[in-house]
Copies of this chain bind each other. A is one copy, B any other.
Amino acid sequence: MNSSRRLGIDIGGTKCMAVAIDAHGAVIDQQRRPTPQHPDELIQTVIELAQSMKPWDSIGVGMPGLVDRSGVIRAAPNLVEIKNLRVGELLGKEFGCFVYVDSDATCAGAAEWKVGAARGVDDVVMVTLGTGIGGGVIAGGVLIRGANGFTGEIGHMVVDPDGRPCLCGRRGCWERYASGAGLAWLAHSAHDGQGVARAIELAGGKPGDVRGEHVTGAAREGDTDALAVVDDYGRWVALGLVNLTNILDPAMFVLGGGLAVGADVFLAPIRHWFGELLYAPDLRPHPALVFAQLGERAGAIGAAMLADLH
């Protein structure tokens, strides 16, 4: 790295986070805005954020969904109005410079690998547990992008071909079970659809308002039903992690995203089920399972770092 000031913007399903980082990856400025759903307004918001944080020497953008190597966002299940949006080109024209664009989870993975929980580890999978599940892959000491830049769409790994329908149009994607939305669904489905009584109380009495945090809250109080849901959730998370281990053999998984904030209650069930589901668990080292260190700014920090990783 040099002495440049690098700007990174992470466009999430609900908010845009912008950071400026110094040569050591430390955040020296930050801003956030709600994410507009319309493509034109979205681009305008990013432009305003970037202008308000000048001066900077490079700019990188992280986005959800399929982001190709030329900076086009092909499709994003959580931003349904967006198809083939030429983010890199549109922003490049505005700023008169090359704009680095990659998927939000690849950015988060890069940040945790360079300045976060996975510093110095050559084989890492970043798993962002939020509304969906995203992934960033580092293998053999290299940030893996794939032929088109689409590496890490791990949430759409099918783990049950006859399972729940997914926003992507298929059935039984991992994120239908192991994301925050998956946790809420497991809680709703408990007790033949009656749900977890204590989680409903914590949500203010309405079953439809139960979210992941209410389930973890009830589990932390020791509520038996909530603990059963958390155990089931841990099994689904572990199932996907085992699949990724069989394919990529990482030394470490970094768990990030909104759900990782309450993740202390999940860790024991995930570890238990990981050991149950892994082939030959006694004959091999298990990958470390750690939490992300950079919190909600990981994607933006990684986006800022893209200039140094290309």
Which A positions have Cβ atoms within 8 angstroms of B?
66, 68, 74-75, 77, 83-84, 122-123, 135, 137, 139-140, 142, 144-154, 156-162, 168-170, 239, 242-251, 277, 279-280, 283-285, 287
Contact = CB atoms under 8 A, between A and B. Distances in A.
A175 B153 CA distance: 22
B151 A144 contact: no
Given A146-B248, A148-B249, A247-B248, 17 more contacts: A66-B283, A74-B283, A75-B279, A135-B247, A139-B139, A139-B140, A139-B142, A142-B142, A144-B248, A151-B247, A153-B246, A154-B246, A160-B161, A160-B162, A168-B280, A169-B279, A170-B279
Nearest to A170: B277
A247 B280 CA distance: 23
Contact of A158 (B68, B147, B239): B239
A168 B279 CA distance: 6
A140 B160 CA distance: 30
24 contacts: A75-B279, A75-B283, A123-B146, A139-B140, A140-B142, A144-B248, A147-B285, A147-B287, A149-B249, A151-B249, A152-B247, A153-B246, A153-B279, A157-B247, A158-B239, A158-B242, A158-B277, A159-B159, A159-B160, A160-B160, A169-B279, A243-B243, A244-B247, A247-B248
B144 A246 contact: no
A248 B137 contact: yes
Contacts of A246: 150, 153-154, 156-157
Given A135-B247, A283-B75, A158 B159 contact: yes
Most buried by B among A145, A168, A247: A247
